[in-house]
């Protein structure tokens, strides 16, 4: 079910999803023809990722059925919103998201940062100020690349709980969890999502974050 000509991250992480009990599959005559991962976040958001459908079963409603199943589980689990991220070029997935009434809420750019001069901030009061400013600029959304890419609605306390230090440059404000508001900003080489393209050492692409109220 490799969807991408340049390779796919799902084969590297699906064993972990299975161990965590968050992966769900579609079966046809006991053959796995689709998969999706669902993570319930403490922010009241259900994060959907890794939707893949075997090529011979595409355009048969498998992706829609899997996503709707995940949304039902999210509602049952108490989630108030569902969110997902789609690469800019993936027209089929954008079409599915729109069909299911998801709306775009944030554009991000992903890649590996070069590691460049940046001021490290570790004072908690200063970090809180930068968190407040960041959430104001993103309309209350925050992302992370720790373990896996995820974006969520967030409040200041949630972001503070996962932030040890902030990186400041002329072009952006970076967070140790792998998110920058503005251009990708980090004093060390790391995987990062940023709200502006900037200068990545290795650029993966632009991604659109979608949200659905449950």
Residue 50's pLDDT band, with cuts at 50, 70 and 90, is confident
The alpha-helical segments, DSSP class H, found in 21-61 are none
Give the pLDDT confidence score for residue 110 in this predicted structure: 97
Rounded CA-CA distance 104/102 in Å is 7
CATH architecture of 10-102: 3-Layer(aba) Sandwich (3.40)
Say if residue 143 is exposed, middle or buried (CB neighbours under 10 Å; 0-12, 13-18, 19+): buried
DSSP state of 103: E
Give the pLDDT confidence score for residue 25 in this predicted structure: 81
Q: Which of 82, 175, 178 is nearest to 120 (CA)?
A: 175
The answer to whether residues 78 and 25 touch, using CB atoms and an 8 Å cutoff, is no
Helical packing angle, 91-99 and 62-76, nearest 10°: 50
Q: Which of 102, 8, 94, 87 is nearest to 46 (CA)?
A: 102
Rounded CA-CA distance 149/9 in Å is 11
What is the domain partition of the chain in residue ranges?
A: 10-102, 108-208
User: How large a percentage of the chain has pLDDT more than 90?
Assistant: 71
User: How large a percentage of the chain has pLDDT more than 70?
Assistant: 90
The per-residue pLDDT for range 135-167, each reduced to its tens digit, is 999 999 999 999 889 999 999 999 999 999 999
Average pLDDT over the chain reads 90
DSSP state of 123: -
């Amino acid at each position: 079910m490799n969807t991408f000509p340049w390779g796919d991250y799902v084969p590297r992480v699906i064993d972990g999803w299975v161990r965590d009990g968050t992966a769900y599959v579609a079966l046809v005559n006991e053959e796995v023809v689709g998969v999706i991962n669902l993570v319930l976040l403490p922010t009241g958001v259900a994060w959907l990722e890794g939707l893949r459908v075997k090529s011979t079963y595409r355009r048969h409603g498998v992706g829609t059925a899997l996503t709707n199943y995940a949304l039902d589980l999210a509602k049952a689990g108490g989630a108030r919103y569902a969110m997902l991220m789609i690469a800019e070029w993936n027209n089929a997935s954008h079409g599915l998201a729109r069909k299911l009434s998801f709306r775009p809420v944030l554009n991000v750019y992903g890649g590996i940062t070069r590691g460049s001069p940046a001021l490290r901030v570790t004072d908690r009061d200063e970090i809180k100020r930068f968190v407040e400013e960041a959430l104001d600029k993103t309309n209350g959304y925050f992302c992370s690349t720790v373990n896996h890419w995820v974006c969520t609605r967030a409040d200041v306390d949630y972001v503070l709980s996962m932030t040890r230090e902030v990186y400041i440059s002329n072009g952006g404000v970076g967070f140790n969890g792998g998110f920058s508001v503005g251009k990708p900003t980090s004093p060390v080489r790391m995987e990062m999502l940023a709200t502006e393209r900037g200068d990545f050492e290795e650029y993966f692409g632009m991604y659109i974050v979608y949200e659905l109220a449950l």
